[in-house]
Amino acid sequence: MLAKVLSCAIIGLEGFMIDVETDILAGLPSFTIVGLPDKAIQESRDRVKSAIKNSNYKFPNRRITVNLAPADIKKGGPSYDLAIAMSILSSSEQLSVDFTDSIFLGELSLDGRLRRTHGILPMVSLARDKGLSQVFVPLDNAEEASLLENISIFPVESLAQLAAHFKGELEILPYHGEKDLQRRVPSSYAFDFSHVKGQEHAKRALEIAAAGRHNILMTGPPGSGKTMLARSLPSILPPLTTEEAIEVTKIYSVSGLLPPDTSLVTERPFRSPHYTISHSGLTGGGQWPRPGEISLSHNGVLFLDEFPEFGHVALESLRQPMEDKVVTISRVHGNVTFPANFMLVAAMNPCPCGYYGDPFRECKCSVTEITRYNKRISGPLLDRIDIFIDVPHVEYERLTTEKSAETSSTVRERVKVTHKTQLERFTGTATFSNASMSPTEMKKFCMLEAAAQSLFHTATKQLHLTARSFYRVLKIARTIADLENSTGIKTHHIAEALQYRRKEPF
C-alpha cells in the first residue's frame, strides 16, 4: 500500500514541505530512498530500520521504496527519520491512520528514541503557515516548538510511544510552553555598568547607542576599559519582543546552537568573534549555508574588538548587510538569505602602540603609521557608524576610590521606555529603531524646536557637516530626546549629539 507522510526540509532559514511516500512491493528485500538524498539520508536507512525493529514492529522483508518529494529540493540532515519510519509502518499496515493533518520531525536513534534535532522551529513555523494542525517533534525540541501559537505540538519520546498513541493505547498530550517571554528572561549578567568606574561619558554614549540601536566605535588606549564596557552592554539592552525572539531562535535552531537546557533564545545575542575570523565565518556560508556571526547577532550586538585587526575583506563584507539588514549567500543551487540586523559595537586603539593622545604615556608611532592604521577602516564602513567616542584612561586613584556607579538595571529601565516609544513610533513600517530611520521618517519624527533649529543650522555650516553626518546627528538627537521623554528635539539634545561625530586624528 502506498503511504504518504509529511515532513520538512530547511534551506537557509526557510522551510519546505516534503512528502515522504513509501511503497512496499513483493520482491527481493531492499530499502531504497530516492529524491536527491545526500549521504545523511542514506545513513537514516540504518537508523530507521533498526528503530522500527527495536520498537517491536516488523521491518517489512520486501522491496521498500521511499520517495522524498519534490525531488528538486536538495535535502540534508537527519530530520526525516521519523516521517520515514511512520510511512513504513503505515505502508506495511502496521498502523492505519490518516496522517494528512500532521507533520513528523526528528532524528531517530537506533533504539527508537527521538533525538534533539536542529532547525525544528522554522519547520514548525512552516507547518503552521501551511495550515497543518499537529506537529510531532522530539521531546527535547518541544519547548522550542511551543513558542508558536495556533498549532498543537506533540512531544515524542520514541517511535514505540508514537505508534501506541496512534493505536489508542496511550495518549501523548500537546505541549503548552511558557509564551510570556518576560517570565523566561533570566536577569543576571556577568558584567554590569556599575563595575565600570568613571567613564561616564562612554557609559552615556553606550546607553544612547543601546536605546536607538546606533552603531558605535570606541577609541582609547589599552586597559582603559573598552572591552569591559562593551561586555556590559547586554545588561542594558531592551528585552526581545516575542517576534524578535522567534527570529533569533530560528537562526540558533538551524545552527544547532540552542543550548541543551534552554531551547529558546530570550536574550539579545552578543557575539564577539576574534579578529582572525574568516569572511565566511562572519557573513555565513558553506555547502549547507550556515548563518555567520552577523546573523548570529541578529537583533543583538556584534562586538568587534581590536577593530582594525580584522581582515580587510571581512570588514568590507559588513557594509552591505549593515545597509540591508540581511545577508545573501550565493550558492550553486540558488541564493540563501539570512537576517542580519545587528548593532555594531567596535573598539580600537588610536594608533598601533595604543597611546596616541594619552596624557600619561608617550606614543611611539609616526604620523604615517597612525594614518595607515586608521585607514584600515574604510570610509564607507565609518559612514555606517553613528556614534564615535574616546575612552581615555581612568586614573588609578579613581579606580580604587570611586564608589560604585549606577547599576545596569537602572539604565535598562530608561532604555526600555525609549525602546517602547520607538516600537509605537514605527508600528506598521519596516523601520524598527531611530538608527534605521529613512530621511522621510526623519522629517516626520525629528521636529526641532526653534532654538535647536538655529543651533543645528550654525553647527552644520561651521563644522562642515556632510549630508550623512547631518542625518546622523539628527537621529542621535532623536534618541537623546526619547531618553528624556521629550517629543520635540531641544538645543541640548542637538549639542550632545554633535559631540558623538567622528573627529579625524589630525
The correct pick among 69, 172, 181, 228 for binding ligand ADP (CB under 6 A) is 228
Q: Are strands 134-138 and 152-156 parallel, antiparallel or unpaired?
A: parallel
Of all residues in the shown chain, the one whose CB is closest to ligand ADP is 225
Task: Count other C-beta atoms under 10 Å from residue 248's C-beta.
Answer: 24
Block residue for cell numbers 493505536: 167
The correct pick among 199, 249, 374, 408 for binding ligand ADP (CB under 6 A) is 199
Q: What's the min distance (Å) between Cβ of 375 and Mg ion?
A: 21
Nearer to ligand ADP, 226 or 250 (CB): 226
Q: What's the min distance (Å) between Cβ of 348 and Mg ion?
A: 9
228 binds, among ligand ADP, Mg ion, none (CB under 5 to 8 A by kind): ligand ADP
Q: What's the min distance (Å) between Cβ of 355 and Mg ion?
A: 14
Q: Which residues contact 305 (CB under 8 A, 6 or more apart)?
A: 226, 227, 230, 272, 275, 346, 347
Task: Provide the residue type at 410 as one letter.
Answer: T
Stretch of 15-23, 52-60, 193-201, 261-269 contacting ligand ADP, by CB under 6 A: 193-201
223 binds, among ligand ADP, Mg ion, none (CB under 5 to 8 A by kind): ligand ADP
Largest CA distance in the chain: 90
177 binds, among ligand ADP, Mg ion, none (CB under 5 to 8 A by kind): none
Contacts with Mg ion by CB under 5 A: the residue count is: 1
What is the torsional sign of CA 222, 223, 224, 230? Answer: positive
Q: What's the min distance (Å) between Cβ of 374 and ligand ADP?
A: 17
219 binds, among ligand ADP, Mg ion, none (CB under 5 to 8 A by kind): none
Contacts with ligand ADP by CB under 6 A: the residue count is: 14
Residues 214 to 243 in contact with Mg ion, rule: CB under 5 A: 227
Q: What's the min distance (Å) between Cβ of 393 and ligand ADP?
A: 8
* Cα 370 to Cα 429: distance, rounded to the nearest angstrom: 43
**Contact flags string 320-359 toward ligand ADP, x per CB under 6 A:** ----------------------------------------
User: 3-state class of 498 per DSSP?
Assistant: helix
b or e along 179-206 (b: 16 or more beta carbons within 10 Å of the residue's beta carbon)?
eebeebeeeebebbbbbbbbbeebbbbb
The correct pick among 71, 110, 399, 451 for binding ligand ADP (CB under 6 A) is 399
The correct pick among 75, 128, 226, 279 for binding ligand ADP (CB under 6 A) is 226
Please provide the DSSP assignment of 98-137 as one string: --TTEEE--EEPTTSBEE--TTHHHHHHHHHHTT--EEEE
341 binds, among Mg ion, ligand ADP, none (CB under 5 to 8 A by kind): none
In 3D, which of 173, 175, 172, 7 has the Cα closest to residue 82? 7
184 binds, among Mg ion, ligand ADP, none (CB under 5 to 8 A by kind): none
The correct pick among 128, 197, 250, 279 for binding ligand ADP (CB under 6 A) is 197
Does residue number 15 form part of the binding site for ligand ADP (CB under 6 A)?
A: no
* Cα 322 to Cα 300: distance, rounded to the nearest angstrom: 13
491 binds, among Mg ion, ligand ADP, none (CB under 5 to 8 A by kind): none
In 3D, which of 167, 18, 224, 211 has the Cα closest to residue 105? 18
Does residue number 198 form part of the binding site for ligand ADP (CB under 6 A)?
A: yes
Nearer to ligand ADP, 196 or 304 (CB): 196
Task: Count other C-beta atoms under 10 Å from residue 359's C-beta.
Answer: 8
Q: Which residues contact 104 (CB under 8 A, 6 or more apart)?
A: 5, 6, 7, 82, 83, 86, 136
Does residue number 227 form part of the binding site for ligand ADP (CB under 6 A)?
A: yes
The correct pick among 44, 90, 117, 224 for binding ligand ADP (CB under 6 A) is 224
**Cell (9 digits) for 210:** 543601546
Nearer to ligand ADP, 196 or 494 (CB): 196
User: 3-state class of 434 per DSSP?
Assistant: helix
Sheet (strand 343-348) strand order: 270-271, 301-304, 343-348, 216-219, 387-390
Point out which residues bind ligand ADP (CB under 6 A).
196-199, 220, 222-228, 394, 399
Point out which residues bind Mg ion (CB under 5 A).
227
